[in-house]
Amino acid sequence: MPQILDTALDAVGHTPLIRLDKIAKANGFKCNMLAKVEFFSAGGSVKDRIAKAMVIAAEKEGRLIPGKSVVIEPTSGNTGIGLALACAIKGYSVIITLPNKMSLEKEALLRALGAEVIRTPTEAAWDSPESHIGVAQRLQREIPYAVILDQYSNVNNPLAHELTTGPEIIEAVVSTPSTSEHPSSGKVDVLVAGAGTGGTVTGIARAIKKTHNKDCIVVGVDPKGSVLAGSGSNSPSDNVQYTVEGIGYDFIPDVLNFEDIDHWMKTGDEESYAAVQQIMRQEGLLVGGSSGSALSGALRWLQSDDGQEIANTEGLNVVVLFADGIRNYMSKPWFLQIALEAEPSPMAGVIAGILGKEKTANVSVKLAETPASTSAAERKPSVTPSLPDPAARSASPQIVSH
């Protein structure tokens, strides 16, 4: 039964598990493809969960003092948004350090929630004083009562997913009956998730393997140019630059446990953004770039020698984590290209035949001349220093069909 929530923090998580039947059919898969869609969370991403968990734990430990503490966090944006949301409710000041390549929308949302935002060079190595991590550490040393909750090493990062995201996925799969239309093993057979800090894939994997299905196959997705999947042809030494946000790093975060991950897939920007368009056009889900990476990695793994048997078995459940929504990326050139420069649909020709070509000609969008497409990385860096989880929204979450 729906109830009144005390604050927006009570609306963190409890996101739907939605079938990707059209995408599965288009690829000839017999398995069930299911998306855990995290942009339905209060702050718009999977990172809301860890932000809430880290703040509540720090309060219990006495690290955060109401009226005094200043929360500082180096982030790709989504963890910062989650923290800014939590701290707006709880009354803490927030400072976010953010690499230049991260979207203008993320900075705007952070500032709207009352956070101070400091941009840092994207190319700075993680251990450089100029990096988002280095700048955060300097500020923490010099600002009284400043605390870095540190998503990269904080045990509450993977723990939040072990205690919430994973159990939600398990409950939805178990609670959804097997039918002739949608046969189901009743288990989570495969999990596919992108890796940034690695806390999400690590925590969900632990929940599934410890309490539900020890034989679940976990596939981590890492962008080309990142080191998380290991060295080799796709290592940073090849100078591969990726624009997808929120996944991949140039170091191994402490919260990433390789023992929880069975396979890795490397993805490129082009295939990731093509997958975003596929998700939007075929499934109606307005996801962000890293969700495209997760889907692209899932599709290629299911087509591989390791994944073909899963793909061809009716009733097996493959869960893909969609970390955030397109809200954070609407001014990015890659999104404007797939949204405004896509091939005309057949209906465009029908309309032109009725109204005349002069009224229906497609407008050519020149991204370099579109003010809204200017990314934060193209602007000068800004250096303005300016719990127990609530009851689930439904007693028995189930897989959602279109």
Q: How far apart are CA 103 and CA 224, in angstroms?
A: 20
**In this structure, are residues 164 and 49 in contact, taking their beta carbons and an 8 Å threshold?**
yes
Q: Is 47 a catalytic residue?
A: yes
Two tokens, residue 190: 């495969």
Residues 342, 326: Cα–Cα separation, whole Å: 17
Candidate list 22, 30, 36, 47, residue with the active-site label: 47
Apex CA 12: angle with CA 11 and CA 14, to 5°? 85
What is the spatial distance between Cα 93 and Cα 136, in angstroms, rounded to a whole number? 14
Structure tokens at 397: 């979450």
Alpha carbons 190 and 324: distance in angstroms, whole number: 20
- Asked whether 96 and 39 are in contact (CB, 8 A), the reply is no
Residues facing 148 on adjacent strands:
72
74 forms beta bridges with 97
Neighbours of 401 (CB within 10 A): 10
- Positions annotated as catalytic residues are 47
